């Protein structure tokens, strides 16, 4: 009698997010508390800064806040709603209290090579993978991040409703602002310290006047356009200054 064939291995089922009871009166810790009740004790939040900029790096941060009162940080909120001084103060508090945190910097050239969305996904994965202790669950701001190796859920406007995402948002924003001030010292003509690489009238005027620098994202339409305008103006200036050399 021939042996029975072995059954084919069962395919791994996709992760299903647990059904959570989120208490509205729990504030920014509501999601983490609900996940803790479901058995996930190390919940990490991840967020980025610089996605909408046309110059400078994309900075992604991840953070695990401690449970209880120590993880309830006064004034914690979406970094975009806070003043620079409050963000700096909260940055120090988060770094001191966090069970784990990480900050990943993706330079402009890498964003041009692989695209913004891919860079954002890779940054989230790298930031979450760098956490020690490793998270048992991740909450990401805005969009899902596949391939983490542990369960995760995307939260719409997560930096405004989830404590660990708000903390990651502040870590990313403060880290990036500091980097942009350093870049301002190298290229003061672009006023990076003021607009942080985002598209503003001041930045647009500097781009047209000086052309892009190595910190500009050359895959962006406005940067390419400014580069073309700058090259045309420079060529015209050369023709006016040296008419004999440029004549056919």
Residues 6+ apart with CB under 8 A from 164: 32, 43, 44, 45, 63, 64, 65, 139
Q: Enter the pTM of the model.
A: 0.85
Q: Which region holds residue 105: left if phi is over 0, alpha if psi is between -120 and 50, else beta?
A: beta
Indicate if 221 and 138 belong to the same structural domain: no
The predicted pLDDT at position 10 comes to 42
Three-state secondary structure call for residue 214 = coil
- Please say whether the beta carbons of 166 and 44 come within 8 A: no
Indicate if 144 and 221 belong to the same structural domain: no
How many domains does one find in the chain? 2
Q: Give the pLDDT band (50/70/90) at residue 227.
A: confident
pLDDT in tens, 93-141: 999 999 999 999 999 999 999 999 999 999 999 999 999 999 999 999 9
Average pLDDT over residues 228-238: 63
The predicted pLDDT at position 27 comes to 80
The predicted pLDDT at position 235 comes to 53
Q: Is residue 212 included in any domain, yes or no?
A: yes
- For residue 13, pLDDT over 60 is answered with no
Q: Which of 243, 239, 242, 198 lies closest to 216, judged by CA?
A: 198
Instruction: Look up residue 207 and give its two tokens.
Output: 């781009």
Dihedral angle of Cα 111, 113, 118, 121, to the nearest 10 degrees? -50
Indicate if 132 and 215 belong to the same structural domain: no
Average pLDDT over residues 81-99: 96
pLDDT in tens, 172-203: 999 999 999 999 999 999 999 999 999 999 99
Q: What is the CATH number of the domain that holds 116?
A: 3.30.420.10
Indicate if 195 and 229 belong to the same structural domain: yes
Percent of the chain with pLDDT over 90: 73
Residues 6+ apart with CB under 8 A from 55: 108, 183, 190, 192, 197, 203, 212, 213, 215, 216, 217, 223
CA angle 239, 202, 205 (to 5 degrees): 15
Final residue in a domain of this structure, among 139, 168, 185: 185
Indicate if 92 and 205 belong to the same structural domain: no
Final residue in a domain of this structure, among 141, 169, 185: 185
Residues 6+ apart with CB under 8 A from 11: none
Instruction: Look up residue 92 and give its two tokens.
Output: 């120090």
Enclosing domain of residue 64 = 26-185
């Amino acid at each position: 009698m021939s042996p029975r064939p072995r059954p084919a291995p069962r395919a791994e089922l996709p992760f299903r997010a647990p059904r959570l009871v989120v208490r509205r009166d729990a504030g920014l810790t509501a999601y983490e508390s609900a996940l803790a009740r479901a058995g996930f004790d190390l919940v990490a939040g991840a967020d980025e800064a610089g996605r909408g900029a046309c110059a400078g790096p994309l900075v992604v941060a991840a953070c695990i806040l401690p449970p209880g009162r120590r993880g309830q940080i006064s004034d914690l909120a979406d970094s975009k709603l806070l003043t620079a001084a409050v963000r700096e103060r909260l940055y120090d508090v988060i770094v001191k209290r966090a069970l784990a945190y990480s900050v990943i910097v993706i330079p402009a050239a890498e964003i041009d090579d692989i695209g913004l969305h891919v860079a954002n996904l890779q940054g989230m994965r790298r930031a979450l993978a760098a956490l020690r202790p490793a998270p048992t669950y991740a909450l990401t701001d805005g969009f899902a991040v596949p391939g983490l190796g542990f369960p995760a859920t995307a939260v719409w406007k997560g930096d405004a409703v989830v404590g660990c995402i708000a903390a990651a948002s502040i870590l990313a924003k403060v880290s990036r602002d500091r980097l942009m001030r350093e870049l301002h010292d190298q290229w003061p003509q672009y006023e990076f310290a003021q607009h942080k690489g985002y598209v503003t009238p001041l930045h647009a005027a500097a781009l047209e006047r000086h052309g892009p620098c190595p910190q500009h994202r050359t895959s962006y339409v406005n940067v390419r356009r400014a580069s073309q305008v700058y090259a045309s103006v420079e060529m015209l200036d050369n023709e006016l200054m040296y008419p004999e050399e440029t004549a056919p």
